[in-house]
Structure 1
Amino acid sequence: LNSATKPIVDRKKDMILVSGFNVYPNEIEDVIALNDKVLEVAAIGEANEASGEIVKVFVVKKDSSLTKEEIIEHCRKHLTGYKIPKRVEFREDLPKTNVGKILRRVLREENDAKLTKTSEKTV
């Protein structure tokens, strides 16, 4: 494998599969980034029994008045139903590589670990 194939593999791995539909994280992120109150955003897939995965977004606020409802409403205006995030989590920052690329993999791993802890508590 040459290094030119790696970004494609990474992007494919980042793809979110909602009820059989491919959702590209960049599309969700680009729409949410249009909101002036958003500094940074990253989208991942979160496991879901009903649909396989749901869209979850991590948002760093530029304006502290930004609400989850505002983000969802903004997405409703610009995205098809299955692409609208079902979960929004605000963070102080997003994990990045040393060149500033957002590490969705780290967000997925942290999120999966949180979900595992939550499901262990409910047993």
Structure 2
Amino acid sequence: MMEKPWLKSYPPGVPENIDLGEFSSIADVLEQSCDKYKDRMAYHNMGAELSYSDLEYLTRNFAAALQEMGLQQGDRIALMMPNILQYPVALFGALRAGLVIVNTNPMYTARELRHQLVDAGAKAIVVVENFASVLESVRDDVPLEHIITTGVGDLLDFPKSLLVNFVVKYVKKGVPAWQLPGSEKFQDVLDKGSKLPLRPVNIAFEDVAFLQYT
């Protein structure tokens, strides 16, 4: 039998082998984890916390809203965000709806953004409003059908959420003027999804989860 010296470095509780049949998809990993660790903290950002229970609720609502928009399993959704709480909510919510994630660098130039959205065939995007002006400049050249915008502080506790968004926009001048007719706000999408059912999606091992550009 082959020796496995690396096992000595495994922390307690980490199995020697992975059960490939335990989870059916990345979304299934999330759903089981949220059920198992519901009272534990999943994310911490800018003084705010999301428990696994919070994560399950928010991602369910986001997924239901995406389905209501008419997005189908296999459709591509771009995420143009830094490390804020909206990112895991949008990412796991989209995966629960069966969509394919296209991570998009918030620092992209208009040319780079245009190329990626066209090449990926992205039908939807979630973009932090700091970078919405870049998206506006290529709006007519890309196949987007749905645009969701968010402020940096949107998922922080009140009143910090309002304060952060105010400072970013008016004190730091970090949000260039933009207009994206027909776009929806992230919080409005979550609110809408909370009133909608989440239809089950049959996700297979072979299905694409990410189109990761480098």
Relative to the length of structure 1, the TM-score reads 0.30
Relative to the length of structure 2, the TM-score reads 0.21
Higher-Rg member (1/2)? 2
Structure having the larger proportion of residues in strand: 1
